[in-house]
Every structure is written in C-alpha cells, then in structure tokens.
C-alpha cells in the first residue's frame, strides 16, 4: 500500500516538474492583424505548417493549417516557399508575442483560406 | 519552442520517427483518428465494466461481464498509448509543458493504479459473487473513481488544444 501511495505521489510530481510551457494558447480574435514580408523559413509539417515571416516590426512565426488541408486548398510547399512575399491575415497569440495564427494568406496575388 | 525544454523531450521531438510523423501526409492524421477510435473501444468497455460493478446488468454474474470487459479495456488502452505516443512525439516539447497534458498524464497514472487496485482487491469477491448479489461497497467506490478519472482524462485530452 505504501508503495502504491508513493507511486501516486510520483505520478503527480513528475509531470508538474516538467517546465511549464504553453502549447496551443489563445489567439486574440478581437484584434485581427496582418503580417507581411518575405518568408524566411518553412516547416511544412503536421499538425500545422509553420512559416517565419520577416515583417517590418519583427520576425513573426505564422501558424498555418495541417498539411493535408494546405494541399487541398491550393497551398502546396512550393506556394509557401522560402523567399516568397506573404501577407498573412490572422490573430496574434495571447501567449507568445511573436506568434500569430493565419486565417488566410495571400502570395503572388492568390489568397488561400486556412480555416 | 525548443528552448528551456528538458533534453530528452528535445531529443524525442527531433528523432527520425517524430520527424517522419510530422512530415508524412497521413501519419499524424491517422494517429489522431486512431486515438479517437481507440478511445471508443476503451471507454465503452470501461463503462460496461464499471456499470456492472455499480449494480447494472444484475442478471449476469459479475465476473462474466467484468473480466471480458476488462480485457477489452486493456486492449483499448494499449491502442490509445500507441497512437498517443505518436501524437506526443511529434510535439513533445510543446505538449509536455502544457498544463492540461500534465493533469491528463497524472490522471492516467491514477486510472491505471485504480484499475490494478480493483484487480487485486476484488478478484475473490468477483469470483464468488452470483447474479443479483450486491458487490462490496469498495467495488462501487472503485467503479465511481474509475468513471470519474477516465472521463476527466478524456476531457483533458480534448482540452490540450485550448491551453
């Protein structure tokens, strides 16, 4: 019984010992923003594709959509390739000040809805 | 993203397997769908098992319901662990630091401990009990605890995306 209690204690202690870090935090949908600039990096990966964009104010991490949805909406990796100039309309993270989630992106005059 | 996370989580997230899961067009999606299907198997078995411990299906001898349901629940849990590990590995540093995931992980430990406890405490009572015969209060308490823990675990699972 003591062993079991100790195990329960361990189970509770270990996860909280992992340094707290946000995951999918909230996004400020009340104040949409547009981040525009050249794409610096691309991670065309699941669960969400990510680009970093060199905007005039700072480098933003822009969260896009799952890769299967990107593909079906007409945004394959070539569309969001590094070096292209993107305009991303979406919402800033309330947790990570350099991250935003894109509702839609426009590249080369073509707009793709991501939601 | 990767900074200030424990080294083993960084290593897991950067492993070839985790990269493959992220880069595949189907792996993450399949693990995600599989996790939900496994949850259906697991939780249906758990509910049947706990309902019998609480006194439902009284015409059936307890062991005749609880034992097969327990095996099915174990299979469901195994499938959940397999698919869940894939989802976790893909985003290990993010997910591990998520407070809701931490609560979920603790609940899973408690749920498994509770299940093991039921197996040990109730083995004889279960074998001896006949149809329509009330089970010990401890059995009912464990069943209520089990339902509470596993429903809370499922709720946390869904809530990870929102915190």
Does pLDDT of A20 surpass 70? Answer: no
What is the distance between the terminal CA atoms of chain A, rounded to a whole angstrom? Answer: 51
Domain contains A19: no
Domain contains A105: yes
Higher pLDDT among residues A97 and A12, named by residue: A97
CATH number at residue A52: 2.40.50.140
Best of B3, B17, B19, B25 to mutate (most A CBs within 10 Å, chain A): B25
Three-state secondary structure call for residue A41? strand
Contact B89, B15 (CB under 8 A): yes
Does pLDDT of A90 surpass 60? Answer: yes
* Segments in chain A forming alpha helices (H): 2-17, 67-72
Using DSSP bridges, classify how beta strands A50-54 and A99-107 pair: parallel, antiparallel or unpaired: unpaired
Q: What is the pTM of this model?
A: 0.83
Domain interval for residue A69:
29-113
Query: Mean pLDDT score of chain A, rounded to an integer?
Result: 85
Over the stretch A23-68, which tens digit does the pLDDT of each residue have? 456 899 899 999 999 999 999 999 999 999 999 999 999 999 999 9
Domain contains A2: no
Q: Can you give the pLDDT at residue A24?
A: 52
Assembly ipTM: 0.78
Q: Can you give the pLDDT at residue B122?
A: 87
Using DSSP bridges, classify how beta strands A59-63 and A50-54 pair: parallel, antiparallel or unpaired: antiparallel
Domain contains A7: no
Q: Which two tokens stand for residue A18?
A: 């992992």
Does pLDDT of A6 surpass 60? Answer: no
Q: How many folded domains does chain A comprise? A: 1
Residues of A with Cβ-Cβ distance to B25 under 8 angstroms:
67-68, 71
Domain contains A97: yes
Does pLDDT of A3 surpass 80? Answer: no
Q: What is the pLDDT along chain B (163 residues), one digit of tens a residue?
A: 455 789 999 999 999 999 999 999 999 999 999 999 999 999 999 999 999 999 999 999 999 999 999 999 999 999 999 999 999 999 999 999 999 999 999 999 999 999 999 989 888 888 889 999 989 999 999 999 999 999 999 999 999 988 8
Q: Can you give the pLDDT at residue A26?
A: 84
Rounded Cα distance between A84 and A62, Å, is: 14
Helix B99-128 × helix B137-159 angle, to 10°: 150
Does pLDDT of A16 surpass 70? Answer: no
Q: Can you give the pLDDT at residue A21?
A: 42
Q: Which two tokens stand for residue B5?
A: 């996370």
Q: Can you give the pLDDT at residue A32?
A: 95
Domain contains A20: no
Best of B87, B89, B106 to mutate (most A CBs within 10 Å, chain A): B106
Domain contains A98: yes
Q: Can you give the pLDDT at residue B121?
A: 85
- DSSP code string of A9-40: HHHHHHHHHSPP--SS--EEEEEEEEEEEEEE
The closest of B145, B149, B146, B124 to B135, measured between CA atoms, is B124
Confidence of residue A5 (pLDDT cuts 50, 70, 90): low
Residues of B with Cβ-Cβ distance to A12 under 8 angstroms:
106, 109
Domain contains A14: no
Q: Can you give the pLDDT at residue B127?
A: 87
B7 vs B3, B81, B87, B98, CA distance in Å? 9, 22, 19, 17
Residue B61, phi-psi category: left (phi > 0), alpha (psi -120 to 50), beta (remainder): beta
Does pLDDT of A12 surpass 90? Answer: no
Contact A61, A96 (CB under 8 A): yes
Kindly list the residues of chain A whose beta carbon comes within 8 Å of any beta carbon in chain B. Answer: 4, 7-8, 11-12, 14-16, 18-26, 43-47, 66-68, 71
């Amino acid at each position: 019984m003591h062993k079991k209690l100790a195990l329960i204690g361990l189970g509770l202690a270990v996860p909280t010992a992992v340094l707290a870090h946000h995951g999918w935090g909230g996004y400020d949908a009340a104040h949409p923003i547009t981040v525009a600039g050249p794409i610096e990096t691309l991670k065309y990966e699941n669960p969400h594709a990510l680009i970093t964009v060199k905007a005039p104010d700072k480098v933003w991490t822009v969260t896009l959509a799952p890769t299967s949805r990107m593909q079906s909406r007409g945004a394959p990796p070539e569309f969001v390739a590094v070096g292209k100039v993107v305009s991303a309309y979406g919402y800033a993270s309330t947790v990570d000040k350099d991250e935003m989630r894109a509702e839609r992106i426009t590249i080369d005059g073509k707009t793709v809805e991501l939601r | 993203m990767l900074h200030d996370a424990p080294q083993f989580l960084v290593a897991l997230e950067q492993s070839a397997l985790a990269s493959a899961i992220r880069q595949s067009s189907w792996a993450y999606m399949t693990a995600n769908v599989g996790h939900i299907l496994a949850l259906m198997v697991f939780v249906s078995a758990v509910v049947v098992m706990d309902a019998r411990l609480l006194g439902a299906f009284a015409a059936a001898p307890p062991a005749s319901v609880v034992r097969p349901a327990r095996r099915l629940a174990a299979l469901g849990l195994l499938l959940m662990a397999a698919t869940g590990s894939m989802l976790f590995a893909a985003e290990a540093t993010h997910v591990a630091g998520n407070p809701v995931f931490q609560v979920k992980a603790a609940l899973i430990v408690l749920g498994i401990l509770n299940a093991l406890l039921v197996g040990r405490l109730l083995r004889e009572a279960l074998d001896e009990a006949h149809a329509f015969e009330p089970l010990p209060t401890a059995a009912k308490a464990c069943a209520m605890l089990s339902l509470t823990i596993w429903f809370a675990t499922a709720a946390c699972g869904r809530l990870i995306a929102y915190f």
